[in-house]
Chain A
Amino acid sequence: MKKITSIFLVAILYGCGSSVSPVDQGLIDQVMHIGNGSEPQGLDPHIVTGVPEHHLLITMCEGLTTSNPKGGANLPGMAESWEISEDGRIYIFNIRKDAKWSNGDDFVADDIVWSWMRVLTPSLGSQYPDMLYYVEGAEDFNTGVITDFTKVGVKAIDDKTLEVKLNNPTPFFLGLLSHYSTWPVHKETVLKFGEIDDRQGLWTRPGNFVCNGPMNLKSWELNKKIIVEKNPLYWDADKVKLNQMHFYPVSDINTEERMFRAGQLHLTSTVPSQKCGVWREEGNPNLRIDPYMGTYYYRANVNVKPLDNVKVRKALTYAIDREKLTEKVTQCGQIPAYSFTPPGAAGYNPNTEIPYDPELARQLLAEAGYEKTEDFPVLQILYNTSEDHRKIALTIQQMWQQNLGISVELENMDWKVYLSRQNSMDYQISRAGWIGDYEDPNTFLDIMRTGRGNNRTGWSNQEFDELVGKANATADQEERYRLLGEAEKILIDELPIIPIYTYVRSYQLSPDVKGYSPNYLDHHHPKTLYLERD
């Protein structure tokens, strides 16, 4: 028995020792291995929400435009060109003559019309219909005010020409089209497996799945791996160098890090935050830190005392040393935030300032009627379970206690409880993060308008609402940014939100991967990627 066991062990160990790691093998086969966070909810672009889903869908489907891998204005996708009317409200898209679905069917303008009808069909329960609310009649159709889709401003003029009418000139409309919720799905395939509004249809399974992107779905093993392979019918297939991409749903960050070290992954979804500082010091050559269009901030519930007083909110905001926090606590290259919209994205630079001035903060608190800090009620910071959120909350607790002399308590809640309390406004201060859906300041400022579901602070300011509304009805980009900048100033003067830092995307990338450029939205088109060892 012992003999058999030892032979067995030796055989296994020998077999493994001599095998080539997936990263080395990938170089030969042009197969890229990617850590993709969690198991995707699904692959139906009209139903799913989330980053892992986006990483997969960008390989398999394509909208009218695609995001620029180097950042900036969108590039042509299914539409090879477009014309915009003078008033900025009518778009004519010219669909590529050679655009095809992965099953060989011709891609026509009507595919977009049907797909948008699907996203906006109320009974589908899409979570992103508002991405199309800029189109005439779209919101009315989605909320059931009208039931006739021909009244919605999207129409196929002929097979290869699409006309879209907007409510207002929306300069970021082309940017919206690179978000998966606006992407087309193959009508015949969807209908073969269910109705237009079927959430449970099996059309996204391997073998059934038909889309129009550079890769096509090969296999999908639940919680294990999704493989996509090159789609030879893609209009730009000549440029696609990768043969396959393997996506692993590695939810444990430490497991992902070990997989990378053992040569099982080319790219990780993130890095363990406790290692980031050390790696930066040691100069880990695989560590990459890229700018990202997201802001980490605290919401203040302006409906409750003492946070209804703007002076109190200012005092709290000015008492946070953001530079110290990003340097000593988060340690991964995060940028101290002095505005809500991350600066630099889409060429927009908010001209706002937030001083770190404990003395001014104490003075503001005194002006608000809290000369004696013992009169100040105990403040609670709500955050969801995470070591990183806890560390930040602890630091801010300490800064507020030291600089303002007030008492602060921390409330740690499970993710869904945290969401539920935030939605019902049952909090004082609450941790928050916002990631842009498209590269435009509107994706940030719009959520702070009165009554927006994601505002969740109770704050309302008519002037702010008007400025953002006016900016979105303005076709002139310079004027638009000026108006949005004004709005941003009001926001930072009123401070219903306390900006803390601008996110960065930190991850590990094998030096074999070429053509992977950083961009604010973290969109990486497989067309630009290939594997080569220096």
Chain B
Amino acid sequence: MLNVLIRRVLIAIPVLLVVASLTFFFIRLAPGGPFDADKVVSPQVMKNLNAAYNLDAPLYRQYFDYMSGVIVGDFGPSFRYPGRSVSEMIYTGLPITFELAFYALMIAVALGIFSGVLAALKRNTFLDYFPMAIAMLGICVPTFLMGPILVLVFGINLELLPVSGWDTLSGDKLLPSITLGFAYAAYIARLSRGGMLEVLGQDFIRTARAKGLSELSIVTRHAMQGGLLPVVSFMGPAIAGLLGGSFVVETIFQIPGLGRFYVEAAFNRDYTMILGTTIFFSAMIIFFNLLSDLAVLLLNPRARENL
């Protein structure tokens, strides 16, 4: 187990280095620079600006300067927002993106597992078809449609919840969390239904039934441990997706999270911000994938045997 951990962490370092280096050079290939604006500035002003941000140095020099900064945790100043460092902006947006992803995950897990397990137990009945149809809808309807629909119904027509904001008006966290969580709830529901169906048909479940165990204990203590393994493996990519994919929900609901900075940085050619957020999100994805792999190892003895 420890071996796996050390091996994976050691692999992560060169992966991050490659990601950072590729991003560094790729964004320089894109036409247009951070200071290109509709109103052209004089060549002298452009020279002054490039000098102020070290952009007049040769590219390899800029690369080494940047990388030596990153190693000590300094992602440099944002080009778009003078007076703000990239680290500060990540630090401001991250807790909000995390919080949103956490609520969304809670909703996704609770709703997904509940309806998935129920559907598996009541196979081929209304309680199977109905939640699965909703799940299919959740997978198909994108968040940029789901968000405005929820806002229209609960925010504008029923006037029950605020239509935007985060921590500004009471209840403003509910709609974004549901919007973001719903799509993942749908995946989890389908995965847990499939996993449960497979386990419920196995011999040890029949044995448990023959021994006279209650249905509740069969489901919760025996079937779910194996039946939910696909859900656990899905958690890593799901968390990464929730963190990285929160951009749309953050925009619809006017949430000051990291996702908006990430996408806007690319449009603004804010080189340091693009790099900082890319490196950061890559690290997050690697970390959560590792975490979910470790959880699978803990839950599944067969996976441990293959180590």
Contact = CB atoms under 8 A, between A and B. Distances in A.
A201 B83 contact: yes
Q: Size range of the interface on A?
A: 35 or more
Interface in A387-431: 414-417, 419-421, 423
A255 B36 contact: no
A259 B156 CA distance: 9
| Residue among A122, A199, A224 with the highest chain B CB neighbour number at 10 A | A224
Contacts of B44: 122, 142-144
B92 A222 contact: yes
Contact of A15 (B33, B151, B168, B170): B170
Interface string B7-35: 00000000000000000000000111101
Nearest to B172: A16
Contacts of B257: 223
B160 A416 contact: no
Contact of B49 (A125, A143, A204, A222): A125
A13 B171 contact: yes
Interface string A34-45: 000011011010
Interface stretch (B74-82, B194-202, B293-301): B74-82
Interface stretch (B184-192, B234-242, B248-256): B248-256
Contact of A258 (B35, B37, B42, B148): B148
B160 A454 contact: no
A207 interface: no
Given A142-B44, A199-B83, A419-B36, A125 B93 contact: no
Contacts of B37: 49, 127, 419
Contacts, number: 162
A130 B42 CA distance: 9
A276 to B, nearest CB: 19
Interface string B65-108: 00000000000010011111100010011000000000000000
Contact of B31 (A199, A201, A259, A417): A417
Interface string A425-464: 0000000010000000000000000000110100000000
A254 B162 CA distance: 15
Given A49-B39, A264-B164, A200 B156 contact: no
A283 interface: no
Interface string B238-268: 0000000000000111101100110010011
A416 B48 contact: no
Contacts of A201: 83
Interface string B103-125: 00000000000000000000000
Contacts of A205: 83
A12 B174 contact: yes
Interface in B177-213: none
A42 B39 contact: no
B160 A16 contact: yes
B155 interface: yes
B253 to A, nearest CB: 7
A127 B253 contact: no
A262 B51 CA distance: 47
Given A248-B254, A254-B148, A261-B156, A223 B260 contact: yes
Interface in A1-56: 12-13, 15-17, 19, 22, 38-39, 41-42, 44, 47-49
Given A16-B162, A416-B267, A419-B38, A251 B251 contact: yes
A221 interface: yes
A38 B45 CA distance: 24
A22 B169 contact: yes
B275 to A, nearest CB: 16
B45 A129 contact: yes
B118 to A, nearest CB: 13
Contacts of B161: 12-13, 16
| Residue among B49, B77, B93, B261 with the highest chain A CB neighbour number at 10 A | B49
B44 to A, nearest CB: 5
Nearest to A248: B254
Nearest to A224: B256
A252 interface: yes
A127 B80 CA distance: 13
Interface string A348-365: 000000000000000000
Main secondary structure of the interface of B (DSSP, over half): loop
B173 to A, nearest CB: 9
A225 interface: yes
A123 B80 contact: no
Contact of A419 (B32, B162, B168): B32
A258 B151 contact: yes
A264 B82 contact: no
A49 B268 CA distance: 14
A124 interface: yes
Given A416-B269, A420-B32, A200 B82 contact: yes
B267 A200 contact: no
B40 interface: yes
A295 interface: no
A88 to B, nearest CB: 26
B163 interface: yes
B28 to A, nearest CB: 12
A204 B93 contact: no
Nearest to A204: B83
B260 A416 contact: no
A453 B41 contact: yes
A41 B81 contact: yes
Interface in A250-290: 250-252, 254-255, 258-259, 261-262, 264
Contacts of B85: 200
Contacts of A17: 159-160
B162 A264 contact: yes
B45 A125 contact: yes
Contacts of A346: none
A142 B269 CA distance: 26
B170 A19 contact: yes
Contacts of A22: 169
Contacts of A254: 148
Given A47-B82, A222-B93, A262-B156, A123 B170 contact: no
Contacts of B268: 416
B47 to A, nearest CB: 8
Given A127-B45, A223-B256, A224-B256, A264 B165 contact: yes
B40 A12 contact: no
B83 A16 contact: no
A202 interface: yes
Contacts of B269: 416
B153 to A, nearest CB: 12
A223 B49 CA distance: 25
A375 to B, nearest CB: 32
A179 B252 CA distance: 33
25 contacts: A12-B170, A12-B171, A13-B161, A15-B170, A16-B161, A16-B162, A42-B82, A122-B44, A123-B51, A125-B52, A202-B83, A250-B164, A252-B254, A255-B163, A255-B254, A262-B155, A262-B156, A264-B163, A415-B32, A416-B36, A419-B36, A419-B37, A419-B38, A421-B31, A453-B40
Interface of B: 30-33, 35-42, 44-45, 48-49, 51-52, 77, 80-85, 89, 92-93, 148, 151-152, 155-156, 159-166, 168-171, 174, 251-254, 256-257, 260-261, 264, 267-269
Across the A-B interface, the 4 shortest Cβ-Cβ residue pairs: A416-B32, A223-B256, A453-B40, A224-B256
Given A127-B39, A199-B52, A200-B83, 5 more contacts: A44-B83, A125-B51, A222-B89, A264-B165, A417-B32
